[in-house]
A and B are shown apart, each in its own frame.
Chain A
C-alpha cells in the first residue's frame, strides 16, 4: 500500500477497464452495505424495520433509538443505556494505550541501540507473545485478578491490556528505531549524554510517525477487545463491546433492532473516527517504519 502512485506497465483496453470499474464498485457496495444498514435503521421507527423496510430510507426520521441506546436501554438488568460502559471503555483505553506505548518505545530503544547478548531471543519471546491465543492465559489471569482484587475493575483490564499490548508496541518501535542512525547515538554517548537524555533528545523527537501507528493500533485493539472484557469484567465494569453484546443478545421483551443498530454505531464511532482522521498517517507510518522489510 505504498502511498505514491506509480506507473504500471500493464495496459488495458476500454472494455476491460469498464469491467474492472464495475467489479471495484460492486465490492465497494458490499463493504458499505452493513454500514448503510446500521445507519439508516438507527434513525427509523421499529415498525418500519419489521415491516420489511430494512433497505429503505426512513419514512419518519427519529433520533429516539440513539437516545435510547445511549441512556435508557436495558443492559443486563439495569436500564442505564450504553453511556456508563462507554466511559468504562474510555477509562480503560486511555491509560492502557499510554502505558503500553511508552514501554514499547523504551523497549525498542534498548533493543536497537543498547544491544546485548541474547537480545534477539528476548525480542523473539516478546514477539511470540503477540500471537498467542488468549484462551491460554484466561484461567491464570482470572485467578490473579481475583487474588489482587482487580477482577471486574478498569484497572484490572488496564493491566491485562498493557501486558498483552507491549509485544506489538515493542515490535513497532524496534523496527522503526532499527533504521535510525546509530552513529548519532554513539556520538551523543561520547559527548557524555546519559541514557535517558539520548532517548529524550535524539530518538523521541523523530518518533512521531511510529507513535501514531502504535497508538492507533493499540487503541483499536483495546477498544474492540471482547474476550478479556467478557472474561474479567462482565458486570458494571464491562467495556462497551460487552455491553453492546448484552444489549443485542438480551432475550427479554421486544427486540428493538433500531436501538441495537444505534448502539452498534456508538460502539464503532471512536475507532471509525480514528480511522477516518488518522488512517492516512497510519499507512504512512507503517511504510516509514517498514514493519515488513
Chain B
C-alpha cells in the first residue's frame, strides 16, 4: 500500500517537475517585466516626482492625476526635439546600415581572398561597449584635437569639421558612430542570406543571358526579404533604445541637439525629479517598440510551430 503511494508520488513529482523548474524564471519575468511595466504605466498616471514614493511625513505620493503627464509630455519642446532627433537618427541609421550591410555582404560574397579577416574587422565593433565607441569618436571628431586639428597640422589650414559641436549637425555624428558599431552585424545577416540562395537558379538565369545587375535586382535581392525584415526589426529596436552612445558621445548636446527619448526619460526621472513624466515617456517608448516587435515575434513563433 505505502509502496504504491510512494510510486504515485514519484510519478506525480516527475509530472510536476518540468513546470516546477520553469516556474522561477517565469515568476521573475512576470514580476520584473510585466509587473514592472504595469507599475510604470501606473506611475505615469500619478503625480510622483522622486523615489521613494513617500513624502517627508511618510505619506504615499502616488496620487492619480489622469492623463496630465502625457499632456505635459507632449507639450514639452524638450520631448518634441527628442522625437524629431529620433526620427532623423532612426531613418538615417536604419537606411545607411541596411545599404552598407547589403553592399559589403554582396562584395564579400564574390570569392574574396581573406574573407575571414575582413569579416572579423567588420564585425569587431559589435563587441565593444557604446561607451567605448562614444569615447573614441568623441575625441576623433573633436575639432580641437581630432580630425580638424590633424588636417590643419598636415597643411590644409582651411579644413573645418566641427559637426560634433554644431547644433545642426551633431545628430549626424551620432549616426556615424552608431553605423560604425552595427553595420558589420547587418552585413553578417545579409551574408548568411546570400549564402542560402540556390545557385542553380542563378546559373539558369545566367544561361539565359541575364547580367549581374539583373541577377541581383531580379533574383537575389528579392530572395533576401527575410534578412531585410530581421535587419529592420533589429535596427529599429536598437535605434529606439539608443542611450549610452549619446551619453558618451555628446551628452545630448550641444544644447539639446542630440537628445533622444531614452536620454529624455533618464534625465526627467533621475535628475529633474519629474518621475511621472519620465514614466509616461517610457510608456511611449515601449508602445513604439511593441508595435514593431509583436507582429514580428508573432509571425516567427507561428512559423516555428
Interface residues of A (CB under 8 A from B): 1-2, 5-12, 17, 20-21, 23-24, 27-28, 30-35, 37-38, 41, 49-55, 103, 106-107, 109-111, 114, 116, 120, 122-129, 131-143, 146-147, 162-164, 166-167, 170, 178, 194-196, 220, 223-224, 226-227, 230-231, 241, 244-245, 248-249, 257, 260-261, 263-265, 267-268, 271-272, 274-276, 279, 283, 287, 292-293
**What A residues does B132 contact at CB under 8 A?**
244, 264-265, 267-268
Q: What 5 additional pairs, Cβ within 8 angstroms, besides A8-B111, A120-B301, A136-B40?
A: A8-B202, A38-B136, A128-B293, A128-B294, A264-B136
Interface string of B22-35 (1 = CB under 8 A from A): 10111011101111
A76 to B133, CA, bound (A): 21
**What B residues does A49 contact at CB under 8 A?**
145
The answer to whether the Cβ of B255 comes within 8 Å of any Cβ in the partner chain is no
- Please indicate which of the listed interface residues A20, A134, A137, A274 has the most CB atoms of chain B within 10 Å of its own CB: A137
- 5 A-B pairs within 8 Å (CB atoms) are namely A24-B118, A28-B118, A133-B282, A141-B36, A275-B127
**What B residues does A23 contact at CB under 8 A?**
103, 107
Within 54-113 of B, Cβ neighbours of A (below 8 Å) are at 100, 103-104, 107-112
For residue A54, which residue of chain B has the nearest CB? Answer: B150
- Shortest CB-to-CB span from A228 to chain B, Å, is 11
Residue of B130, B188, B282, B297 near A138 (CB, 8 A) is B282
Within 99-152 of B, Cβ neighbours of A (below 8 Å) are at 100, 103-104, 107-112, 115, 118-133, 135-140, 144-147, 149-150, 152
A134 to B25, CA, bound (A): 18
Q: Are B124 and A275 in contact, CB atoms less than 8 angstroms apart?
A: yes
For residue B16, which residue of chain A has the nearest CB? Answer: A195
For residue A147, which residue of chain B has the nearest CB? Answer: B52
- Please indicate which of the listed interface residues A109, A133, A178 has the most CB atoms of chain B within 10 Å of its own CB: A133
Residues of B in contact (CB 8 Å), total: 112
**What A residues does B202 contact at CB under 8 A?**
8-10
- Shortest CB-to-CB span from B185 to chain A, Å, is 10
**What A residues does B36 contact at CB under 8 A?**
136-137, 140-141
Interface string of B238-267 (1 = CB under 8 A from A): 001101100110010000000001100110
Q: Are B136 and A34 in contact, CB atoms less than 8 angstroms apart?
A: yes
**What A residues does B149 contact at CB under 8 A?**
52, 54
**What A residues does B279 contact at CB under 8 A?**
139
A146 to B206, CA, bound (A): 66
Q: Are A2 and B145 in contact, CB atoms less than 8 angstroms apart?
A: no
A89 to B51, CA, bound (A): 26
A263 to B100, CA, bound (A): 30
- Shortest CB-to-CB span from B134 to chain A, Å, is 8
Q: Are A116 and B195 in contact, CB atoms less than 8 angstroms apart?
A: no
Q: Are B199 and A9 in contact, CB atoms less than 8 angstroms apart?
A: yes
Q: Are B29 and A129 in contact, CB atoms less than 8 angstroms apart?
A: yes
